[in-house]
Structure 1
Amino acid sequence: MEYAACSHKGGDLATVRRRAAAFLDNLSGEESRGPVARQSWIIKWTKIGEEQCRVGDLKAGKGDSNEAAEARLCALTAFEVARRLLDENDPQCGEVTAKIEAGIQCLEVALAKVERVKIASCDYTELLAYYVPAGNDRLPTPAVICISMEDESETTLLARLLPAVIDRGMSLLVVSHRDVSNPAWGLSQALLSSCLDYLSARPGVDAARIGVYGEGMSAALATDFAASDRRLAAVVCDGGLWNWTRMRASVGWMTGVADAPEQGRVTAHRTQLMRRLRCPVLVVTGGRGFVSVSEAMKLQTECIEERIDLDLAMPRMIKSSGGCIENFVTLDDCIFGWLKQKLAFSAAPSSEPKDLPDIRSQVLGP
């Protein structure tokens, strides 16, 4: 399998991402069978990342900050491939994570492409986040609040998403699940509303075109946030499926009745929640998340009948000797292609929506 990332071309981000996606799609073949082969690919993708870091340093030394930044983005993609191949208990995982964090620090400090910002929260504390600007005073752009999975930091999420978003004309505000999740009723929504307030006040952001994207358990936070704050123009979330599943399990435990609730009541409950989401919705189903494909498809059918704008996205999972690995490159392109379309359309409701990009049927429409 071809793995070289055209390092002789320096920061060729499109090439690196295309080859990373192709590599992950073909990982179930001969190359992934056995720990020796797997270790070989980890080493090779780590070396690709290290070489792109050297290219970035060289470009920065010549004063070309844009090419230096692009090489660093290539490195982040390569390191993320290596990280996905590693077992989370492998000592190398910490080493690769350290390289990813160093890459973000370089983009922040040396190349000034990323900002570390403080947001005044509802409980009078300060919330730390990463901000990636895309617009300016004369040309404000859409923006997306991105919430990490419960077991990942905001730095790890930013490092994965930044190469996918850098040329899409949208700003990012990236926060950690740990910082915005709170068991107290309504507090998580209030914290995320503080993030929305922050973005709305930024000169380069179009306050009418702000979305939110939550991963893992943060997808449930994104649902509750979108239901409570109608300023949002698009949401990538769980469609309320986690809270509904948890509530149904609690009722079954308290009543001792194992049978599922009557279907009409299930549909009515879901529809009631979805009506509170007054913006387009994308539900990511399957993969590492907790939203089942069957439940998500039932939800979509109900939304079609109610004329609610809901799409589904299913990540491509590759089976290998180390378990299932998600093709994060294709999925991120899918999600942010959808966000770009919906946030652009929200500013011009009289125009026809554009077709979604070719993403190998990752978005499952009606």
Structure 2
Amino acid sequence: MSPSQPSSSQSSPIAGPPADGAGAAPAALTSRAPHVPADRLVAEMVPPPRFQSARFETYIPDPDQPSQAAAVEVLSGFAAGIGGGTETGGGKRRWFGRSAKKAAAPSGPRGVYLDGGYGVGKTHLLASLWHATPAEPALKAFGTFVELTNLVGALGFQQTVQTLSGHRLLCIDEFELDDPGDTVLVSSLLSRLVEAGVALAATSNTLPGKLGEGRFAAADFLREIQGLSAHFRPLRIDGEDYRHRGLPEAPPPFDDASVSRAAHRTPGASLDDFPSLLDHLSKVHPSRYGAMCDGITAVCLTDVQAVPDQSTALRLVVLADRLYDREVPVVAAGKPFDALFSEDMLKGGYRKKYFRAISRLTALARDAKPLVEG
């Protein structure tokens, strides 16, 4: 399906091309507020570009962490046991509704839950599971927790249940519960899908029974999460962040002039003032951040500063995830990425999200270094 994409011909609010005149004026993310139709949200529930080639065979377990190799073995067996029917009577695919022969309620956990710190390869393993499951793509769904809640918002609860009940497998990446409403919503959705015989797989940085700790309304979280945890077999994956394992440190931030030059000489790059971009994110629903990056080959940011509040920080986390999924390098001037979030934020209930964002933005900054030095 062709994505709905707004015009990106508007100039960046930052000063025009440098004196050497290389390249046309870059795009500006702040000029983009795309509309994303519901059918695109469904069609895009596949592993993102970064993980399209992910397979169990390409996952490289850390030899010092036996839990990583063990996870590959368990997940390979889980994929083989899901099965792969693709049609109902008359040769038509089951896009909506339950199968004609409803699966019996499972006697044990119907899913696997990959628990581990950021950067141990959980998303790679989740995408590998999606690829290894013997069912055609139309009967498998892959998305982040945020994308799943956005789908419910676009389709409505009942239509989402009908749509996903026809699937063999639902993979949920970055399973995080940020408010009681989402907790109840996802708990109800997954319960209905388990009844329909859908296999579940999820990743997170926390065990299912611990997701609500350190967050607001912890009693409400834990009450709902305890019911969810029964659907999953927790699978611990230990290890250090592979994005920094044996690699050089991310380059320090550049100056504004260097970032502007890189933007003007990189076809398809965007150029934005960081505070203006943060303000723009507050006006675009997070479900549209991926579409906002359509066609962008590099994100160039000037005047990077510490984020001012938690709401802004959480929106930035979503943008960082979408950029990382799409392998979009980030060239930045100002504060280094490890100074984006305050000490209080890094000690609070959302700290795992913030550390993940720092890790991913650091990796993207490393990818962007040749754009400035080339």
Q: TM-score, normalised by structure 1?
A: 0.25
- Structure possessing the higher relative contact order (Cα contacts under 8 Å, 6 or more residues apart): 2
More helix by share: 1
Q: TM-score, normalised by structure 2?
A: 0.24
More strand by share: 1
